[in-house]
Every structure is written in structure tokens, then in C-alpha cells.
Amino acid sequence: MPNVRSVQTDRVGFFGQTSPRELAAAYGTPLYVYNEGVLRRRCRDLLGLSSLPGFRVNYSAKANANPALLRIIREEGCVADAMSPGELYINRLAGFTPDQILYVCNNVSAAEMRIAAENDVILSVDSLAQLDLYGEVNPGGRVMIRLNPGIGAGHHKKVVTAGKETKFGVDPAAFNEARALIARHGLILAGLNQHIGSLFMQPDGYLDAVDFLLGFAQSELGDLFSTLSVLDFGGGFGIPYRKYEEDPRLDLAELGQKLHARLSTWTEATGYRGRFYIEPGRYIAAECGVLLGSVHAVKNNGPTRYVGTDLGFNVLVRPAMYDSFHDIEIYRENGTPDSDLTPQTIVGNICESGDILAKNRPLPLIRQGDVLGVLDAGAYGFSMASSYNQRCRPAEVLVGLDGAPKLIRRRETVEDLAAMFV
Ligand code: LLP
């Protein structure tokens, strides 16, 4: 049955044995649908960046922490980061062992540090104050330090996480103070990490940051070098969101070749025997997710054609928060593919005028009763969803390698919403 617009999901057989309309009918909308094959492919893309035995892909669970996905990511051979007790708990639930988890946190309490220490998970601090606190919580323990390499990157100023205008990381120029705190608390420096920001499509900035960290570790650590077991370069690997415009992919062949060459040369020069981490979230989880929604009303307000859906920013906040672009597909029974495109503004059901999924987007005419698919919604989609307006967070379904759909999180109910009130 042809849809109005479904080239991208058709190309990868995204919905397997089922169809988006069948899924919407069976599970309701809004609905997050994930494809296991795509998820596994994305893990393998990154695992292939270097063949060094110490190379690890440290999946950043903040992008999507559904345990069904985490288990697949673990099976593929990735490790995982956590940045809260909740992520740590869910990573453990999904089977990651303590040595497969890094706690990469920011401005946390002594109690939270204790949870990481009790789980025997290495914690990375990102300020001298937090290093001092960790030394009090876990004297003699292993700790990592997050450096701010001074190089930032990202698709929006809100996701740039290094450079002068961010809250993250320890200034490398202050490392002597860190050294003194390490000595005072008898801490073991287990590693260094950094994360310059989210979503780069050209490898150069990332590789410059890799060079920074390798150079720093080699020339600035002195006797602390001997205990180093993790060098973590961070995430940020971008994906092409404008699929219908044939946006090019990040060139992983080039990135892998350059990264591997740097790590090999450096390993030979330094005799380092520890691990190298990259820390991707989006690259692994984004493209395996499509968010399905229903069109409940279409109207014109002045010159604008508004398509009213159940895809409010409570379900997917990225467009409202960062002006992010997500491609949109249109599924209709016996839909005729339509070459005429009309600008349409797709909105949700939240009581704010900023509740806009796509503004004046040229698309085939959308009608009431259509099911829409928001592409590349697997990362920072469900994980940033909220119950604003007391709307229930959506269900999640996984289309397995056999093409069959399986519910991996039930839809919230109004009783769930009320359950926390005392
Ligand atoms: N490591 C650390 C320490 C991070 O803070 C992050 C993301 C990552 C790794 C993974 O970054 P990725 O590979 O996914 O770019 N909500 C925003 C993205 C925020 C990213 C926050 N930190 C969005 O929807 O675009």
C-alpha cells in the first residue's frame, strides 16, 4: 500500500513485517518505534573506527536509556556512561558490569558520589571542587578528570560543552591544583576525559581535541601517567537529519583512519596499555527511532496551514528547544505520492505557541487521520520527554531482526501520573 511519503523508512525496511499505521492502531500514538537492525549497524560503524585492543565505544545513555536498547548495545560490545544514579541503575539493569560503566557527572552531591563508589564505578569529576569532595567521599579511590580542551563544537549553543563559555571541565592550566588534591586524598588518577559538544559532521575539530588530550596526557601528567587506564575523547558524532535532502553522512572511514593512526603512534611512543574511549550517544541511537503521531485537526490561521497532532514538545522537545530539524513522513491508507509541496506548520497539543514540530515545512498536503513519522527521533527523544500538561509519556516498541514488533515500554497512564502525589 503506497504511503504519501515514506521513502526513507521504506529504504531500510524500518517497520519490518508491520506498518506504521498498524503500529499506530495497535499501540496508539504518540509512539516511539525503534529498529534493532539499524541500532546494531550504528554500533558496528563506530566499533570499526579502530582495531586497537584498548579501543572502546562508550555509549552515552542519556541519548536513550531504554534497557531493551541498552542490552542490544551491550551485546554489540559497547560499554556505557552514566551521569546520574538513574542512568547508573538502568545500565546495571541492562547487564553492564561496573568496569563497563563510567560515571561522567557534573556538580553532584557527596551522596551521589558515594553511589558511584559503592557500585565500584569510576567517576569523572569536572571541577577542582568536585575532585576535593570526591577525595573526601572515597579517599584512595580511582578518579578521572574531565578537562576542558578549549575547543567547542555543536549544532546549537546549548549543546557546546567545551571552550570558555560553558560550565564543563577543569581548565588544563589548573592541573597543578588537581595534582595537589590527588596527592592530599591519596586518589589514583584513572583517566582523563573530555566532550567538546554534540553533533559534528566534519572530523577536524574532534581530532584536534583528541590531539589535545593525547598531548596533555603525554607531557603534563609526569608520574601520574603510570596509573592512567582510560582516555576518553567524548562523543558528538553527528548524523544527517535532512535525509530527504540527501545530507551527507559523517565520513567515518576518514575519521577512523585518522583516529586509529593517532592512537597507534601515540601508544607506541608512550607505551600506554590502557583503554581509549569514544562516547557517542546520538550516532548510535538517533536513526533507529521513528516517532509516530496522529493528525487530529488541520486548519488555516491567516496564511499558515496548521497541522494539529499529538506530537507536542512534551514528546519530542528538540525542535522547540534547539530549533532542530527532523524529517517527516506521511502514512495514509492508499496514499498517492504527491509531488506538489505546500508549506505547512506541524504543531502539537500543548498549550504553548512554541509547541511547533516543523515550521512552514514544504510537504505534500497532510490530512486529518494521517499518521506522521518523525525520523531520527531515537536519540534525545523519549529520554527528554516529559509529562507537561499532565500528558502521559508515550509507549516504545522495538521492531526486532525478525521484523516483528515488541512493546518495550508501556504507555504511561493517568494513574502513573498521580502515583507520586502523597
Ligand atoms: N559525553 C558527555 C559527557 C555528554 O555530555 C554527551 C552529551 C555525550 C557524551 C554524548 O553526546 P552525543 O554523541 O550524543 O552528541 N539534547 C541535545 C544533545 C545534548 C547532549 C548532551 N551531552 C540534542 O537533542 O541535540
pLDDT, one tens digit per residue, over 115-154 is 999 999 999 999 999 999 999 999 999 999 999 998 887 8
Which residue, 325, 317, 322, is CA-closest to 247? 325
Ligand 1 touching residue 134 (CB < 6 A): no
Q: How many other β-carbons are positioned within 10 Å of the β-carbon of residue 420?
A: 6
Could you tell me if 254 and 203 are in contact, meaning their C-beta atoms sit under 8 angstroms apart?
yes
Could you tell me if 268 and 19 are in contact, meaning their C-beta atoms sit under 8 angstroms apart?
no
Say which residues have a Cβ less than 8 Å from residue 250's Cβ, sequence separation at least 6. 200, 201, 202, 203, 237, 238, 239, 240, 283
d(CA 88, CA 262): 31
Ligand 1 touching residue 57 (CB < 6 A): no
User: pLDDT tens digit string along 247-294?
Assistant: 999 999 999 999 999 999 999 999 999 999 999 999 999 999 999 999
Q: Which atom of ligand 1 is nearest to the CA of 279?
A: 9
Indicate which residue's Cα is closest to atom 22 of ligand 1.
Answer: 198
d(CA 252, CA 201): 10
d(CA 334, CA 370): 11
Its sign, for the CA torsion 138, 139, 142, 143, is positive
Average pLDDT over residues 219-224: 97
d(CA 262, CA 268): 10
Ligand 1 touching residue 372 (CB < 6 A): no
Distance 196 CA to ligand 1 centre (A): 9
Q: Which residues are catalytic?
A: 351
Which residue, 66, 58, 68, 107, is CA-closest to 84? 107
Q: Which atom of ligand 1 is nearest to the CA of 159?
A: 19
> Above 60 in pLDDT, residue 1?
no
> Above 90 in pLDDT, residue 79?
yes
Ligand 1 touching residue 281 (CB < 6 A): yes
Across the chain, mean pLDDT equals 96
Provide DSSP, 171-198. -GGGHHHHHHHHHHHT-EEEEEE---BS
Say which residues have a Cβ less than 8 Å from residue 382's Cβ, sequence separation at least 6. 32, 64, 66, 289, 393, 394, 396, 409
* Residue 333 confidence (pLDDT): 86
Q: What band does 334 get if pLDDT is binned at 50, 70 and 90?
A: confident
Task: Categorise residue 334: left if φ over 0, alpha if ψ from -120 to 50, beta otherwise.
Answer: left
